[in-house]
Amino acid sequence: MKNVTDRHRQDSWDVEGGGSLAVSPDEIREPLFEGTPGLRDVTETVSGVVEGKPTKLWYATITLTSGLAAWGILTILYTVVTGIGVWGNNQPIGWAWDITNFVFWIGIGHAGTLISAILFLFRQKWRTAINRAAEAMTIFAVICALIFPIIHTGRPWVAVYWLLPLPNQMEMWVNFRSPLLWDVFAVSTYFTVSAMFWYVGLVPDMATLRNRAKNVFVKRIWTFVSLGWTGANRHWHRYEKAYLILAGISTPLVLSVHTIVSFDFAVSVIPGWHTTIFPPYFVAGAIFSGFGMVLTLMILARKLLNLEQFITRKHIENMNKVLMATGLMVGYAYGMEFFIAWYSGNPYERFVFINRAFGPYSWAYWTMVTCNVFIPQLFWFKNIRRNLIITWVISIFVNIGMWFERFVIIATSLHRDFLPSSWGYFIPTWVDVSIFAGTVGLFLTLFLLFAKYIPVLAISEVKGILPGSQPSHTHH
């Protein structure tokens, strides 16, 4: 008889050779855990983070990030009260940092659902160690993203019927023929579905915390939010089905969101934007940037929250492989855009791309190419894929590179339009910089709150893939 709750007996399985110990493909592969954690270990490790007192480092960091977020909110208020003339946007660059930041954040929000939905459908078990945090990042990133188009409307308080089909005094409806409106539906659907997906995953873990809570007040909170989950198998049955359906519909959803974001550009007739390669190019870029941000934060969280046992170098290596694959796709798209500009024979198209690489914004273009294409090539080497410090540094470059990608697409395509007399050059104002820095602060603040107060690992999912946790006769 084996007993998953008992570490010593678990270790002795190797000697006894029970049914589950026949060599399975999982065991030939590198294990997903360091050591042989039991069910109790998972509960203790993850709940320990939530139940313990925050460290001084946590307080210091969150003070800094929430200060930044507060400054961002103040500058947003200043923008709303004064008007968006306080930004650097002006003819011919009507979209600048606001839309750059919007696309940047939405892109980062793509890793979470990719990990939780697509990797789930492909039965990639390593996802369980990172899916909770990645989904949280998705939600926070989409919140940051949504700020920008809303304040770009100039009058957010009436934007509700500019953006949504609500009856209003004009008896007018939103323009369903515009990609900008498709974007409203895509991003709000994405936010709602990601948030529900995340919450559904959290319910069993919050029930675990409820059962452990000592403080009456804390216990009440966990009781309320865990909705009375008891782990009944008849409930798990529907739960697993719901999870599968959500994963199934989120997979096309995550691909659709950045496709539709790319339509904002591709459906217009601006050279540099009017490109059929945009949808797959944007989706690959989104996953690339999302994994970059997941790596940046998870390498730190893994260390600071003592999760090394569950987030191993194998996880980091797997993420680096995804990063390199999507990075190569993005690099291919950069090259193909130039080829098509030449092959099309369209002088305006050619001008935009030559101008992009060698014009006034060439510094931004080559920053982008260096960060997104050249530097990730280091991941061809296995020791680098498994080296945490180098990976972390490269992930920072990816974050920077992907911000520049959106800036390059937007600014270089707009700044020299068809009429040379109206050519311009975008320079951000202090308000532009402050609002972007504010959303970075907001994102990090929300992530820090999450990492401290919400289980960072999907407890029930990790338990389900522990060695010996499933009945031996079923193959999964």
Partner 1 sequence: MKKTAGVTGLFHDPDQVLKAAAEIRRAGYRKFDFHTPYPLHGLDDAMGVKRTVLPWISLGAGIVGAAVATHLQWWTGAVDYPLVIGGKPLFAFEPSIPIIFELTVLFCAIATVVGMFALNGLPRWFSKWQDDPHFVRSMDDAFVVTVDADDAQYDAGKTRTLLESLGAEQVREVEYEDQ
Partner 2 sequence: MFTAQLDTQIKRVIVSLVVVIAVGAVSFYFLRHPSVMDVGYRPQQPVPFDHRLHAGELEISCVYCHTSVETSAHSTVPPTQTCMNCHVSVKRDSPKLELVRSSFENGTAIPWVRIHRLPEYAFFNHSRHVNAGIDCASCHGEVEKQGVIVQKEPLTMGWCLDCHRAPDEYVVPTREISGLDVDPALLSRAIPQGPTHCSACHH
Binding positions for partner 2, 210-229, rule CB under 8 A: 210, 220, 223-224, 228
Residue 172 interacts with partner 2 (CB under 8 A)? yes
Tokens of 85: 């003339």
168 binds, among partner 1, partner 2, none (CB under 5 to 8 A by kind): partner 2
For 150, other C-beta atoms within 10 Å of its C-beta total 17
Options 145, 193, 283, 352; binder of partner 1; rule CB under 8 A: 193
Q: Which residues contact residue 138 at a Cβ distance below 8 angstroms, ignoring those fewer than 6 apart?
A: 108, 109, 110, 111, 112, 113, 194, 198, 290
Which of partner 2, partner 1, none does 464 bind, CB closer than 5 to 8 A by kind? Answer: partner 1
Integer Cα distance of 183 and 150 in angstroms = 12
Partner whose footprint covers residue 166, from partner 1, partner 2, none (CB < 5 to 8 Å by kind):
partner 2
d(CA 100, CA 144): 12
Of 122, 173, 339, 453, which one interacts with partner 1 (CB under 8 A)? 173
Q: Which does 48 bind (CB under 5 to 8 A by kind): partner 1, partner 2, none?
A: none
Q: At what angle do helices 362-369 and 388-407 cross, to 10 degrees?
A: 140
State in angstroms the smallest separation of the CB of 231 from partner 1: 4
Which is nearer to partner 1, 41 or 337 (by Cβ)? 41
Neighbours of 167 (CB within 10 A): 9
Return the residues of window 203-262 that contact partner 1 according to CB under 8 A: 204, 207-208, 210-212, 223-224, 227-242, 245-246, 249-250, 252-253, 256, 260
Lookup: tokens for 411? 């600014």
Q: Is 189 in the site for partner 1 (CB under 8 A)?
A: yes
Tell the smallest beta-carbon distance from residue 25 to partner 1 (Å).
Answer: 16
Residue from 155, 163, 157, 162 nearest 188 by CA: 163
Note whether 476 and 177 are within 8 A (CB): no
- Alpha-carbon gap, residue 68 to 440, rounded angstroms: 8
Give the residue with the Cβ less far from partner 2, 157 or 380: 157
| Residue 423 CB neighbours (<10 A) | 14
- Structure tokens of 378? 């280091």
Nearest to residue 434, comparing CAs of 55, 76, 195? 76
> What tokens appear for 21 in the block?
């110990």
Burial 34-62 (b: 16+ CB within 10 A, else e): eebbbbebbbebbbebbeeeeeeebeebb
Compute the least distance from the CB of residue 195 to partner 2, in Å.
18
Helix 430-453 vs helix 39-51: crossing angle, to nearest 10? 130
Smallest distance from partner 1 to CB 396, Å: 33
Comparing CB distances to partner 2, the nearer of 146 and 225 is: 225
d(CA 324, CA 284): 11
Copy the structure tokens of residue 422: 């109206």
Closer CB to partner 2, residue 61 or residue 223? 223
* CB distance 459 to 42 below 8 Å: yes
Residues 112-151 that bind partner 1 (CB under 8 A): none
Specify the DSSP class assigned to residue 129.
Answer: G
Q: CB count, 10 Å around CB of 350? A: 16
Q: What are the structure tokens assigned to 160, written together?
A: 């509700």
Residue span binding partner 2 (CB under 8 A) among the ranges 161-169, 196-204, 364-372, 449-457: 161-169
The residue among 190 and 404 lying less far from partner 1, judged by its C-beta, is 190
With CB under 5 to 8 Å by kind, the binding choice for 293 among partner 1, partner 2, none is none
Total interface residues for partner 2 by CB under 8 A: 11
- Does 469 contact partner 2 by CB under 8 A? no
Q: Write down the least CB distance from residue 220 to partner 2, Å.
A: 8
Stretch touching partner 2 by CB under 8 A, among 24-32, 143-151, 165-173, 179-187: 165-173
Q: Is 74 in the site for partner 2 (CB under 8 A)?
A: no
User: Which two structure tokens, joined as six digits, stand for 281?
Assistant: 């190019």
CA distance 159 to 167: 13
Q: Does 170 help bind partner 2 (rule: CB under 8 A)? A: yes
Among 129, 133, 181, 446, binds partner 1 (CB under 8 A): 181
Q: Which listed option, partner 1, partner 2, none, makes contact with residue 169 (CB within 5 to 8 Å by class)?
A: partner 2
Opening angle at CA 171, ends 168 and 173, nearest 5: 85
Nearer to partner 2, 172 or 433 (CB): 172
Work out whether 48 is an interface residue with partner 1 (CB under 8 A). no
Of the pair 145, 181, the CB lying nearest partner 1 is at: 181
Cβ closer to partner 2: 60 or 227? Answer: 227
Task: Give the nearer residue to partner 1 in terms of CB position, either 48 or 231.
Answer: 231
Residues 22-51 that bind partner 2 (CB under 8 A): none
Stretch that binds partner 2, among 83-91, 146-154, 169-177, 368-376 (CB under 8 A): 169-177
- Pick from 331, 430, 356, 439: which is nearest to 108 by CA? 439
List interacting residues with partner 2 (CB under 8 A): 166, 168-172, 210, 220, 223-224, 228
